[in-house]
Amino acid sequence: MNECSLSQTRHPVTGRIMLLIVIFASACVPSVQEQYEHPAYFNKVFSIADSIGNFDAAASYAYLEQAYAAFPAPGKIDLYNKYARMHSYHATKTYDFPLAMAYADSALYIFNERPLREAYPLYYARALFYKGDVLRELKKYDDAYVYFYRGREALLRTKDTCQYHEYASRLALVYYRQEKYGEAAPYFLEAFRHLRRCDTTAFNTFYTRQGMLDNAALSYDKAGNDGKALVFYDSTLRFIARKGAKFLHDPVYNNGIQAAIAVVYGNKGNVLLRTGDTLGAETLYRQSIDINSRGKDEKRDAQLTMAKLIALYLAGNHPAQAKAVLEEMKASLNVLPTAGTRQQWLLLQWQYYEKTGEQARGYAALKDYVHLNDSLQATAAKPAVADINKEFVRMAGEHRLEMLQKNSELQMAYLFILIFLCLTIMSVAWMIWQNWRKSRRHVAALQQLNQQITAQHENIRKSLSALEQSQLGHYRMMKIVAHDLRNPVGAIHTLSELLLMDPAQEPRNRQMVDLIKTSSASALNLISDLLVLDTSLANMEKELVEVHVALQYCVDLLQIKAIEKQQEIRLEAEPVKVLACREKIWRVFSNLINNAIKFSPDGASIEVALKRENGAALIAVRDYGIGIPEGLQSKLFSQTREAKRKGTRGEESFGFGLSISKQIIEAHNGKIWFETEEGKGTTFYIELKEVG
C-alpha cells in the first residue's frame, strides 16, 4: 500500500487491503463439502477465473457469470463463493459500493439458516466482514462496527488462529481511515503475526504478509515516527527478498512482487525526503516509477510518485528535470485519467510556470486547478471519527447484560430446585427419625419380623453406624455430602449435554441448556475438590514419574482450554524423574496451569518450565495475569473459601485447589510457594527431590 494511494480522494487505502484479504480468503477453503457445494466443478471455474483476472478483471467476472449460468443447480456455498468474488470486484475495482453492498447482503443471506452458520463458521464470519467493509467505505462507521464485532465472534468459534488476521487487518484499516495511525500500526503487525500460522508456502500468504508489514511502516510514517517507519520499510524489503525469491520464476508472481517493492520504495522515499536525504528520496522515487510504469494496475501509484518527484525537483530548483517528469505524468494521465491525480498535476504545472516566470500559462493552470478543486471539495465529506473501542465495549456490555439476565433467571430456577431438594431431604430425615423412635418403643415386635425385614434392619443399622462414624469430623461430613451430590449433578450435566446434541432445540432453549451445562460442570469441579479435602496421603502408592512427560501431557490437555481465551501455553522442560504418586502430582500441575488460564487475560502467554536445581526438580508456572492481592496472599493455601475470586472471564473459583496442592506436595516432602505482583502476574514454584 503506497502512501501515494492514500491521497486519492475517492478510495484512499481500502482497495489494496481489501484485495489482499479477499485473495487470501479465497485460498483458504474449508474441507467440509456437503450438499451445499460442488467443488469438482467450481474449483476449476475459480482457477480459470483467477488466471483471466491476472490480465483482465472484468473479463474474469464475465466468465464467472457464464460458468454459473451453465451449471444447473449451484449449491448455497457455491453461490456464496460467487457473491464474495463479485463483492470484491466491485469494492476494489469498480468502486461501485452500492452494488458491492448488494453482493455482500446476498452472501450474508446465505447464512440465514443456523446449520449453515455452524457448518461454515469461517464463511459466515467473512460474510459479516464483507458487509462491514462496504459500510465502512460508505462512512457508516457505527453500523460497520456491529458487523465487525459479530464477525469477530463467529471467527473465534472456528479456533483457527490463522484466520484471526482478517479481524486484525480490518481494525487496523478502521483506525487508519480515522487517522489514528499510532493505533493502526500494532493491528497491522498483529495481522502479520497471525498469518505466520497459515500456509507459509503459498504466494497469497507471502503477499498478504508483506502488505501488512508495509502497512505498519506506513502507519508509523503517517504518525511522524520516522525511525520506526524506516525500520519497518527495510524489514518489508528484507522479507520480500527472503520469502519471495521462490516465486520469482513465475511471471505473474514476479510482477506482483516487483509492484510490492515499488510501493515500499515510494513510501520509504517520503521518509528520506522528510529527514533531508533528497538524493536517496529521488533515487527511490525514480526506481518506484520505473517499476510501476510497466504494470497495469500500478500506473496510478506511478502517477502519484511522479507528483512527489516533481515537487522534489521544484523545491530543489531543478525546473528542467521537473518539466521532464511533468510531461511523463501528463502522458500517463492520458492513458489512466483520475480526478485526484489530474488535480495534483495542475497544481504542479502551475508551480512549474511560477518557477520559470511564465505567468500567463501559470495563471491558466491555476484557474483549472481551482475549478477542479472546488468540484472535488463539494463532493468530499469529512467522515465522523468514531471510537471503535468504545463501540465494541458498548456491544460487549449489552451482550453481558443479556447473559446476566438469563443467568439470573437460571439461578432462580436453581434456587427453587434447591429448596425442593432440601424439603425432600428434611421430610425423609423426619420419617427416618420417627421410625427410629418407634423402633426403640417396639423392639420386641420388630424381633418377630421375618428374616427379610431383619436383614433390612441390619443394613439400616450398619448404615447408621457408618453415618455416625462419618460424623466424627467436619471434613468427613462434607465429603459425604459432596459424594451424594455428585450423582444428581452429574446426571444434570449429562442430560444437558444430550439436550445440546439435539439439533431441533430452539436457540433460546439451547442457550439456557448451555448455561445449565456450564453451572453443573462448575458444581462437579467443586464436588471433586471437596472429595479430596483432608484425604490421607500417608499411605499413597508412589512410583517413578517422568515429570517432563507428565507436564507435557497436562499442557496438551489444557491447551484447548487456553485457546478459548486466545492464550498460548509454552513449555520448556528438561528430563527429570521423581518418586511420586502420578495421579496426585498430575492434579497439582493441572490446578496450577488451570489457575494461570483462569486469571490471565485473553491473548496472554503462560510459561511452564522444568529444570534441575541442586538435586531437585524445580517446576515454575508463570502467568501475566491479574496477580494476587496482598489481602489474599496469606490465605491462599488455607482450606477456606475466603480466598476464592472469579477469573478474567468470570470463571468460578472455589478456593480449595491450592490447599489440596499444598497437601499433596508436602506429602511428597516437597515445597510449593509463589511470587506475585498485583496487575502483572504470578509465578508458582514446586520443588521435588530428584531421583538419579
Position 682 pLDDT exceeds 90: yes
Stretch 231-237: mean pLDDT: 92
Q: What is the mean pLDDT of residues 482-486?
A: 60
Percent of the chain with pLDDT strictly greater than 70: 75
User: What sign does the CA torsion over 389, 393, 399, 403 have?
Assistant: positive
The full 3-state SS of 145-178, as one line of letters, equals HHHHHHHHHHHHCCCCHHHHHHHHHHHHHHHHHC
> Measured between alpha carbons, how far is 19 from 256 in angstroms, rounded to an integer?
13
By C-alpha distance, which of 296, 278, 372 is closest to 336?
A: 296
What are the residues facing 673 on neighbouring strands? 685
**pLDDT, position 618:** 94
Enter the pTM of the model: 0.48
pLDDT at res. 475: 54
Segments making up each domain of the chain, as ranges:
398-532, 543-689
Of the candidates 138, 197, 208, the one whose C-alpha atom is nearest the C-alpha of residue 169 is 208
pLDDT at 403 over 60: no
Given this model, what pLDDT does residue 436 score?
A: 77
Instruction: Name residue, grid cell 477456606.
Output: 640
pLDDT given for residue 449 in this prediction: 59
Q: What would the mean pLDDT of 579-604 be, rounded to a whole number?
A: 89
What is the residue-wise DSSP string for 371-419?
HHHHHHHHH--PPP---HHHHHHHHHHHHHHHHHHHHHHHHHHHHHHHH
Residue 218 pLDDT:
92
Q: Which pLDDT score, from 0 to 100, does residue 383 have?
A: 47
User: What's the first-to-final CA gap in the chain, in angstroms?
Assistant: 60
Each residue's pLDDT tens digit, 645-671: 788 887 776 667 788 888 889 888 999
Pick the closest to residue 618 from 609, 631, 627, 606 (CA basis).
Answer: 609
Average pLDDT (362-370) is 77
Segment of 382-386, 536-540, 649-653 carrying the highest mean pLDDT: 649-653
Exposure letters 203-214 (e unless 16+ CB within 10 A, then b): bbbbbbbbbbbb
CATH superfamily of the domain spanning 543-689: Histidine kinase-like ATPase, C-terminal domain (3.30.565.10)
CB atoms under 10 Å from CB of 342, counted, come to 17
Q: What is the pLDDT of residue 525?
A: 62
Per-residue pLDDT at 484 exceeds 70: no
For residues 623 and 606, the answer to whether their CB atoms sit within 8 Å is yes
Over residues 358-377, mean pLDDT: 75
